[in-house]
Structure 1
Amino acid sequence: MIRSIVSTAVAGLLGFTATKAVLASRLRTQQNVVRTNHAGREVSLIEGPAVTAGLLAGGALIEDPRQRTATLLATATAGGLGAVDDFCESGSSKGLRGHLSALARGEITTGAIKVTGIPLASIAAAAILRGRPRPTGLFGHDRTEAGRAWYATATDIVVTGGVIAGSANLFNLLDLRPGRALKAGTLTLAFTDHERRVSWAQSGAIAGATAAAWPDDLAGEVMLGDTGANALGAAIGVILSETASPAQRRLILAVLAGLTLASEKVSFTSVIESTPGLREIDSFGREGV
């Protein structure tokens, strides 16, 4: 228990420090990272690389080697491909449908690369999480795993990958107002059962990076962009997939898929602003922004 508390605290500190360091860098004010937000104000996209750096720094302390490898792979790929879309954007297609339509026409856009690359990396991360552990004990068998050994099916790997990729995409869809994606991540962690197979250091890294970015994000001075939103969503997707049972993972994937399809027809912002409770949570801390 003490070891878990220490690793969580250190991971949180690393996540916080790395995020703050990037936020304070000169990159913040360079013209190629400045965009115009929904209110017509100039904001910096530096938060995306900053949060991704924090997640990776803290995530390196995850104790379980498979969780660590899967988390770093999913987070780095989601953040990296998000950065390609943020800073090297090509094509005019928007949304999942737009990117897939562009691919169907043979048009390779940065968005299309992202919507294919993140799911592939998520499947690879899922294969690591669900893979058979290597024999290490007497006669090539690990006695500690003998009573609970199980073999993940291809279906469970695909579902797990879908949860990771779907979470990355959903957080990107939420990053339309200051603080919204960070609040969603914080609430998700708060209501997640961390007693089941997941490293507390993983949550510590997310909490640390979130705390570091929170003031500037709520003030509307920086935004996650595809880089940070995809990376944050992928990291949380790994936690969701690891703390859920196979049946729960299928349910989570169905919800994520439903929300993604709904986003093509319905404005999340309109729904949130017209729903009591959600409206107050969403607007908390960003009055006038």
Structure 2
Amino acid sequence: MIARAGRTTALLTTAALTRATMWALGTRAPGGRARWERKNHAGRPVGLYAAPATALAAAAGAARVRPAAGLAVAAAGLCGAYDDIAGAGDARRGFRAHLSALREGEVTSGAVKLLGISAAALAAGARLKERPVDRVLAGVVIAGAAHFVNLVDVRPGRAAGAVLAFGAPGLLRRGPGAELAATAMGAAAAVLPDDLGERVMVGDTGAHALGAALGTAIVTGTGRVGLTAHAAAVVAAAVWGDRVTAMARAAR
């Protein structure tokens, strides 16, 4: 009963904080509404209020459960925010493009995001796990989950829907892992209606934060076999996504 109450509290609290922050940003629009307006995949104007709202709520909720998890989520959100702002006009997509630019001496926003999230994920993994191998696997899962959720964020509701779908099994666990899953799901559920209605978008900021929150939920309470399986899955997803991106660029 206590464990169930913890999950419920985490979900509802994070959802409420996400909605409240979205409302506050939408009402005041710091810097003017034009700064918060973006075009979605269909060219329609949508608000970016859900991006920082999701990241802030997910980071705060995760930190309440595990400080290291909160730091990983916050770092993922910040790196995503940098890419949302600095990389808005950069047509390059995929790890290969950004790493190729890095080899040539150009530090793109995508490279900053890749390296920053990876470093934060490994640092979080070092705090969430005890054995060296498990720490590395945990870092891969957290960073990979952040990338995966951003990878599927190509249409309204995809990122939030993925977090709800993949986070639901975590609610069956006990302890911190279940609360972290509830935290990720609470933030995702809060933005889903407006995201599907094409009124807001989570952007790289929200997608990476949600993914990192989901990743910390997975690694907390998961043994080495589970960590290995999840690490293999997110690496495979990253490779597949990079190939799809490369093929799309070649077809243009």
TM range (shorter): 0.7 to 0.9
- After alignment, is 30-39 or 228-237 more displaced? 30-39
Alignment counterpart, residue 85 of structure 2, candidates 80, 84, 87: 87
The structure with more helix, counted as a fraction of residues: 2
| Partner Cα separation in structure 2 for residue 201 and residue 155 of structure 1 | 25
* 1:63-212 superposed matches below 5 A: 68-89=66-87, 91-131=90-130, 152=131, 154-192=132-170, 194-195=172-173, 198-212=176-190
Over the matched positions of the two proteins, sequence identity in percent amounts to 39
Tell me by how many angstroms 1:257 deviates.
1.0
2: distance between equivalents of 1:193 and 1:214?
Answer: 19
Gaps in structure 2 of 5+ consecutive residues: none
Structure showing greater radius of gyration is 1
| Residue 11, structure 1, aligned to residue 14, structure 2 | no
Aligned residue identity for 2:41? H
SS of the residue 1:43 aligns to: strand
Match of 2:45 in 1: 42
More deviation, 115-124/24-33: 24-33
Residue deviations 1:162-193 (CA, integer Å, cap 9, x gap): 00000000100111111111111111122336
User: Quick one: distance in 1 between partners of 2:221 and 2:129?
Assistant: 13
Distance 2:18 2:7 in 1: 16
Stretch moving more, 50-59 or 178-187:
50-59
Partners of 2:133 and 2:193 in 1: how far apart?
41
Per-residue Cα deviation, 1:1-53 (whole angstroms, up to 9, x for no partner):
32x33333332232122211221123287222222111111112221111112
Report the Cα distance in structure 2 between the residues aligned to 1:38 and 1:175, rounded to whole angstroms.
Answer: 10
Describe the superposition over 1:133-182 as per-residue Cα deviations: whole angstroms up to 9, x where unpaired.
xxxxxxxxxxxxxxxxxxx1x22211110000000001001111111111
Contact 1:193 1:243 in 2 (8 A): no
- Assess if the C-alpha contact under 8 Å between 2:167 and 2:181 holds in 1: yes
Secondary structure in structure 2 of the residue aligned to 1:264: helix
Contact 1:55–1:209 under 8 Å retained in 2: yes
More moved, 102-111 vs 197-206: 197-206
Equivalent residues of 2:48, 2:203 under 8 A apart: yes
RMSD, aligned CA: 2.1
Bigger drift between 104-113 and 116-125 goes to 104-113
Q: Does the aligned pair in 2 maintain the 1:33–1:87 contact within 8 Å?
A: no
| Alpha-carbon distance between aligned partners in 2 of 1:248 and 1:171, rounded to the nearest angstrom | 19
Paired residues in the alignment total 241
User: Shift in Å at residue 197 of structure 1?
Assistant: 5.1
Between the aligned partners of 1:94 and 1:259, the Cα distance in structure 2 is: 15
Q: TM-score, normalised by structure 1?
A: 0.77
